[in-house]
Structure 1
Amino acid sequence: MSEAKWYVVHTYSGYENKVKANIDKTIENRHLEDQILEVRVPLEDVVEMKNGVQKVSQKKMFPGYVLIHMIMNDDTWYVVRNTRGVTGFVGPGSKPVPLTDAEMAPLGIQREEVVMDYEEGDTVQVIAGAWADTVGVIQSINMQKQSLTINVELFGRETPVEIGFAEVKKM
């Protein structure tokens, strides 16, 4: 499986948030969470003066564009390309070109290397979120999404639950 990279998608003007919402919904419906990791409309804070009052508002950094962190394959390409409001990927012809780390740096989106001391089979306690104070055994670790799948007991059954790295502590 190849590594996830950031791609730029061109959208109709003003459709950036609709495209983000549509792709997020499609990811959920088609269970592509492990292939399309994040959809982002980059915003920046802008200070405006109106009637002598300073007002801070958020403006789109790149109107008409949406950033997508995904593993490029036929399925993900098809899903994104055929989303309502998307005109295509940025790149020559029909071949999307991923952004380099140097291009991503000014956007404030950086890759964080997470060092963790968990392993599959370890027992952990959930310290935050809906499952707080629950104890579970790690079944799998997803470094890209920075999450763990743990088995917790729910209604007398073992049930897999996905939890973020920051929400658990080792027992």
Structure 2
Amino acid sequence: MSYWYLIQAKPKQQLRAKENLENQDVECFYPTIELEKIVRGRRQMVNEPLFSNYIFIKLDDEDINWSKIRSTRGVRDFVRFGIDVAKVPEQLVQQLKFDTGIIDSNMLETNAPREGDKVIITKGAFKEFEGIYQSPSDEERSIILLNILSKTIKLEVANQDVMKVEK
């Protein structure tokens, strides 16, 4: 009978571990999710692991070579509870496959403002003021143009304090 197990990979070596396990004919599942992040001042879609450093593998309970799996490049060890190796329920893996499978970059709607979008400030001294989104300042802040007393000023605001105004 086959069961799903959870492997902990070495830091930043999840893909190496997955490839090496697949080369040994081990069925692997490495869930990822596509997120919008600010990288070097620009908003980009980035593919990141759903669970950092963890890979699900399916093994036949009768024919497991534990040391072969543990000595695979990129693999740290099996996830354990005490001395017992943790088995992952099939239902959980199927649900993760279904849930992560429906997220694709074309279906992912982002509510992040883009240059020229109307935004509203949700916190701080300028709460409820409307402005125009100009650009990201860094990974956590953005520059907003506000029209105050017939004069346009630039204001740097935390990203979580800005909300795009729906058209």
Q: TM-score of the superposition, structure 2-length normalised?
A: 0.49
Q: TM-score of the superposition, structure 1-length normalised?
A: 0.48
Larger Rg: 2
